[in-house]
Homo-oligomer: A and B are copies of this chain.
Amino acid sequence: MVKTIIGKSDFIESLRGKSATFMLAISNTKTANIDGITQAGIPGKIYLTPTLDSEFVCIGEVRSLGDVATTSKGVPTPALMTRAVHLGLPFGRIELLDLGLEVKPKIDYFTTHSFGIESSGSIDSGAGIDAEALFEKGVEFGQGYNCKDEYIILAESVPSGTTTATATALGLGYDAKESFSSSFKESPKSIRQEVIKLALANISDGDELFDILGKVSDNMLIFNAGFILGINNRIPILLAGGTQMACVLLVVDSILKLMGGTIDTSNLAISTTKWVYEDTQSDIESLLNMVSFPINGFYVDFDFSMSSHPALKLYDDGEAKEGVGAGGALTYGLLNGLTQEEITRVVEEFLG
List the interface of chain A (C-beta within 8 A of B).
8-11, 13-14, 16-19, 58-61, 86-93, 107-110, 148, 150, 266, 335-337
Q: Which residues of B contact A266 (CB under 8 A)?
A: 109
Determine whether the beta carbon of B10 is less than 8 Å from that of A108: yes
Determine whether the beta carbon of B89 is less than 8 Å from that of A337: yes
Which of B110, B148, B335, B337 is close to A14, meaning CB atoms less than 8 Å apart?
B110
Determine whether the beta carbon of B92 is less than 8 Å from that of A17: yes
Q: Which residues of B contact A61 (CB under 8 A)?
A: 9
Q: Which residues of B contact A10 (CB under 8 A)?
A: 58-59, 107-110
Determine whether the beta carbon of B337 is less than 8 Å from that of A109: no
Determine whether the beta carbon of B337 is less than 8 Å from that of A87: yes
Determine whether the beta carbon of B18 is less than 8 Å from that of A93: yes
A249 to B297, CA, bound (A): 44
Q: How far does the Cβ of A96 sit from chain B's closest Cβ, in whole Å? A: 12
Which of B59, B90, B148 is close to A335, meaning CB atoms less than 8 Å apart?
B90
Q: How far does the Cβ of A106 sit from chain B's closest Cβ, in whole Å? A: 9
Q: Which residues of B contact A9 (CB under 8 A)?
A: 59-61
16 pairs, CB–CB < 8 Å, chain A vs chain B? A9-B61, A10-B59, A10-B107, A10-B110, A13-B110, A14-B58, A14-B108, A14-B110, A16-B90, A16-B91, A17-B91, A17-B92, A18-B93, A87-B337, A90-B335, A148-B150
Q: Which residues of B contact A109 (CB under 8 A)?
A: 10-11, 13-14, 266
Which of B11, B18, B88, B92 is close to A337, meaning CB atoms less than 8 Å apart?
B88
Determine whether the beta carbon of B108 is less than 8 Å from that of A8: yes
Determine whether the beta carbon of B13 is less than 8 Å from that of A92: no
Q: How far does the Cβ of A172 sit from chain B's closest Cβ, in whole Å? A: 30
Q: How far does the Cβ of A21 sit from chain B's closest Cβ, in whole Å? A: 9
Q: How far does the Cβ of A57 sit from chain B's closest Cβ, in whole Å? A: 10
A321 to B91, CA, bound (A): 31
A264 to B144, CA, bound (A): 28
Pick the 10 closest A-B CB pairs, nearest first: A17-B90, A14-B109, A10-B108, A16-B90, A10-B109, A13-B59, A88-B337, A17-B91, A17-B92, A89-B337
Determine whether the beta carbon of A86 is less than 8 Å from that of B14: no
Which of B60, B93, B107 is close to A17, meaning CB atoms less than 8 Å apart?
B93
Closest residue of chain B to A59 (Cβ to Cβ) is B13
Using A8-B108, A108-B8 as known contacts, say yes or no to A58 and B90 having CB atoms under 8 A apart: no
A115 to B107, CA, bound (A): 40
Q: Which residues of B contact A60 (CB under 8 A)?
A: 9, 13
A337 to B85, CA, bound (A): 9
Q: How far does the Cβ of A16 sit from chain B's closest Cβ, in whole Å? A: 4
Q: How far does the Cβ of A231 sit from chain B's closest Cβ, in whole Å? A: 17
Q: Which residues of B contact A89 (CB under 8 A)?
A: 337
What 19 new A-B contacts, CB under 8 Å, besides A10-B109, A14-B110, A16-B91? A9-B61, A10-B59, A10-B107, A10-B108, A10-B110, A11-B108, A13-B60, A13-B109, A13-B110, A14-B58, A14-B108, A16-B87, A17-B19, A17-B93, A18-B92, A88-B337, A90-B335, A90-B336, A109-B266
